[in-house]
């Protein structure tokens, strides 16, 4: 939503396109030191060179950016390790009934409710969040350090609590709640997109323990803890709709990036994104989301 202020980050942040090697350009200070010594000079030339050098990274970025963005990065640098088109029927409402290696971690909480219906090549997820006391959690093996997913999705309707959260989990990680590593989250009703490092943020058990001390005492968090939590996520204004879209979510080193229909939407750096094993790709869906196609790529 244009004009809406990003919350939780102390203000809006611009997309950090130059963080990716795809768009990598020489840092400005390196340009200065290598090519434009400016010490002890009163000539206007250094100033002109300064202008040129400031423009160079942009030019370089344009020149080296892959036109297909992160989708092209995955396809050109990565290996397709899983592709799903949902062209079948589900076999029931249980843990493995979506088939093809998917598991619904919340299915058995509410066996009487169908939360994932395969219909005409679409997985239609309708979470029984209230009954299961958890958003629908549907996951598939992934297995990479750097890589990501291409997901064709739509919100079939816009209604309260609609959201699409997707990201990576390593259940073997024992100091993080349920191994939740990192997620992107589209919140069409609040007009926000978020990227979250859960591994070293809100799902980290040591941090949760610290937070609990204050919630138990009903005291506000101290500023340093508050700042730590805020640094582990980015929240940006974003407008959702009920059309089909192609979403790409990748991790590369300590960076998580999300793009939709080939356009960068959000990017965030945090140490947790560098976790060496994204063991599962997970959907967390509190409302209704349709998914038509999922591809998982491993780059490293």
Residues numbered 56-95 forming contacts with Ca ion, rule: CB under 5 A: 89
Say if residues 191 and 263 touch (Cβ distance below 8 Å). Answer: no
Number of residues that bind Ca ion (CB under 5 A): 4
The residue (of 117 and 246) whose beta carbon lies closer to Ca ion is: 117
In the list 97, 117, 141, 293, the residue contacting Ca ion (rule: CB under 5 A) is: 117
Between 154 and 198, name the residue whose CB sits nearer to Ca ion: 154
Region binding Ca ion by CB under 5 A among candidate stretches 68-76, 115-123, 154-162, 215-223: 115-123
With CB under 5 A as the contact rule, the residue among 62, 87, 119, 241 that binds Ca ion is: 119
Binding of residue 123 to Ca ion (CB under 5 A): no
**Contact call for residue 292 and Ca ion (CB under 5 A):** no
Q: Is 125 in the site for Ca ion (CB under 5 A)?
A: no
Asked if 293 interacts with Ca ion (CB under 5 A), we say no
Q: Which residue lies nearer to Ca ion by CB, 123 or 186?
A: 123
CB of 151 to Ca ion, least distance (A): 19
User: Cα(96)–Cα(103) distance, rounded to whole angstroms?
Assistant: 5
Q: Which of 118, 123, 169, 284 binds Ca ion (CB under 5 A)?
A: 118
Binding site for Ca ion (CB under 5 A): 89, 117-119
């Amino acid at each position: 939503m244009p004009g809406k202020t990003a919350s939780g980050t102390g203000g809006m942040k611009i997309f950090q396109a130059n963080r990716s090697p795809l768009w990598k350009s020489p840092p400005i200070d390196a340009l200065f030191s290598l090519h434009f010594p400016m010490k002890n000079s009163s000539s206007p030339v250094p100033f002109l060179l300064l202008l040129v050098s400031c423009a160079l990274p942009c030019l370089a970025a344009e020149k080296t950016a892959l036109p297909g963005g992160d989708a092209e990065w995955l396809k050109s640098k990565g290996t397709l390790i899983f592709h799903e088109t949902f062209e079948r029927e589900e076999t029931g409402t249980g843990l493995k009934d979506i088939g093809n290696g998917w598991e619904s971690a919340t299915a058995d909480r509410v066996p009487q409710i169908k939360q994932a219906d395969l219909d005409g090549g679409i997985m239609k997820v309708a979470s029984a969040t209230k009954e299961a006391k958890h958003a629908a959690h549907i996951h598939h093996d992934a297995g990479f350090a750097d890589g990501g997913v291409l997901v064709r999705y739509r919100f079939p309707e816009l209604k309260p609590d609609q959201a699409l959260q997707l990201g990576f989990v390593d259940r073997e990680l024992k100091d993080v709640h349920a191994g939740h590593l990192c997620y992107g989250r589209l919140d069409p009703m609040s007009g926000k997109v978020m990227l979250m490092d859960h591994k070293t943020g809100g799902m980290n058990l040591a941090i949760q323990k610290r937070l609990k001390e204050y919630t138990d005492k009903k005291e506000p968090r101290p500023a340093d803890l508050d700042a730590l939590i805020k640094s582990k996520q980015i929240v940006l204004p974003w407008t959702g709709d009920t059309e089909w879209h192609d979403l790409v979510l990748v991790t590369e080193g300590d960076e998580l990036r999300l793009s939709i229909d080939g356009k960068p939407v959000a990017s965030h750096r945090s140490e947790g994104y560098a976790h060496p094993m994204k063991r599962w790709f997970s959907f967390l869906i509190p409302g209704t989301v349709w998914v038509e196609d999922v591809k998982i790529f491993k780059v490293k």
